[in-house]
Amino acid sequence: MDKAHSPFPGGKYMNTKQLEWFRLELQQQLDECERLIEDTKGQDDQASPEGDEADVADYKIQIEQQASAIHRLHIQKRAIEAALNRIDSGDYGYCEETGDEIGLPRLKANPTARLSLDAQERMERQNRLQGAG
């Protein structure tokens, strides 16, 4: 579905057309995420370099960066899968904390959002306070 023809104007919140738009968007993100995971894993197939300590150190840094990238991609993949599950269960678009609408603009910017903006800000404030204490 073309993003220029977004189903957002008018209609009931989280209507069938909106849910289908988000499902397609999330599925595309999931496909891309899975492709990136495979591409990044494929880079691990390179043999360890022969050479001086600097070459070996560079190689180790590269491997650590790849592992970190794969870890981040797996976190992103789980968030996308969770959002797709929320669509299936009828909970998508509603704050997990308050049950309030997350809002179409926020979901369009971040389709995996689980919290309303207010709930997200409260959580971040609490985390900062706990970190400062």
How sure is the predictor about 1, in pLDDT bands with cuts at 50, 70 and 90? very low
For the chain, domains (ranges, CATH) are 3-132 (1.20.120.910)
* Distance between CA atoms of residues 130 and 115, nearest Å: 20
Closest C-alpha to 113, from 95, 133, 130: 95
**What is the Cβ-side half-sphere exposure of residue 2, based on CA atoms within 13 angstroms?**
2
Mean pLDDT on 8-19: 86
Top pLDDT among 16 and 57 is at 16
Q: Note the pLDDT of residue 60.
A: 87
Angle between helices 16-42 and 53-89 (to 10 degrees): 160
Alpha helix (H) ranges present in the chain?
16-42, 53-89, 104-109, 117-132
CB atoms within 10 A of CB 105: 10
Whether 69 and 40 have beta carbons less than 8 Å apart is answered as yes
pTM over 0.85: no
In this predicted structure, the answer to whether residue 2 has a pLDDT above a threshold of 80 is: no
In this predicted structure, the answer to whether residue 68 has a pLDDT above a threshold of 60 is: yes
